Amino acid sequence: MTVLHLADAGEAADLAAFLARLIHYDRAAAVRLQASGTALAVFGRPPSFEVLAVRTARLDKPYENGIEATLDVTVSAGELLESLDEPTATVTVPGAVTGPPWAGVLPPRGGWQREPGLPGPTAVRTMVAAAVAEFRSRTEELAAERRTRAELDRIGREIWSRPVGDTGLPVRAAHAAQSLGFLRPPRPDAADEERLGLYSSGAWLRLRTPYGSIAVRRAGTGSGALGVSVR
C-alpha cells in the first residue's frame, strides 16, 4: 500500500476539489498519477471540454517505495478522492485500473516557450462568460425540430474552437480552466512566472495558471489528441 504525504492540508484540499470537479463531469473518471521527488502531478480529462488537465501538489517528503524512485499509475478518481485525508494531508494510492487512451498520450515535459497574445485573467474570464451566454442563447432560439445533438454540437464547435485573443488556444481550453477552478486570482505576492501564461512545445499549447494547467494540440496537427504537461 502506497501512502503519499502531501505538504500540508491546503494541498490536500486543493487536490480534493480538483478530483471532485473531475467526478462531476464523469463519475467513472480515471486519473494518471506521477510522483517524483517532492512533486505529484494528477492528470485528468473532463469529457465535456475535450482537454486534459493537471493539478500538481507538493509532497512533504520525497516519494520512495522500496527501490522505486518514481510513481506512475492510472487509478480511479473516485477511489483516490475517498482515500484522501485532508486533516492528515495523506492519500492512499488505490489499485491501478486499465488506463483510457488519453492516459498514454502526454506532451513533452521540456522545451516550453512562452507565447504572446494571451489576454489577462479578467479578459479571459469575460470571454468564457460571453461564450457560455452565446451558446445558451443560440441553442434556446432553435426550433424544437432543429434542436438535435448534431446541431448542438455544430454550434458548440463553432463557439468553443474560437481563439483566445491573438493566440491559437481555443476558448474551450479557457472554459475548462475556469470550470476546474484554475482561473482564480493568484495570490497578491505571486511571482510573475506563477501568473496566467501560455506556452508551446512542438505541437502543443499549454495554458498555465497558479492552480493547474490545460494543454491541447495546436489546430491542424494531426490526430487531435489532447494532453497536458506537469511543468
Same domain, 99 and 117: no
Helix axes 171-179, 149-160, angle to 10 degrees: 100
Task: Specify the CATH number for the domain of residue 35.
Answer: 3.10.150.10
Burial class (CB in 10 A: 0-12, 13-18, 19+), 128: buried
Q: How many domains does the chain have?
A: 2
* pLDDT tens digits for range 165-196: 999 999 999 999 999 999 887 666 655 545 78
Model confidence over 36-59: pLDDT tens digits? 889 999 999 998 788 989 899 999
Q: Is the pLDDT of residue 65 over 80?
A: no
Residues 125 and 98 in one domain: no
pLDDT at 11: 94
User: What's the pLDDT score for residue 220?
Assistant: 60
| C-alpha to C-alpha distances, 180 to 50, 70, 159, 210, nearest whole angstrom | 13, 27, 19, 13
Return the pLDDT at 189.
Answer: 61
Do residues 13 and 7 touch, judged by C-beta distance below 8 A? no
pLDDT grade, residue 217 (50/70/90)? confident
Q: Please indicate, yes or no, whether residues 12 and 88 belong to a single structural domain of this protein.
A: yes
Segments forming the whole domain that contains residue 44 = 2-103
Establish if 139 belongs to a structural domain.
yes
Listed residues 103, 131, 147: the one ending a domain = 103
Output the 3-class SS for 6-64: ECCHHHHHHHHHHHHHHHHHCCCCEEEEEEECCEEEEEECCCCCCCEEEEEEEECCCCC
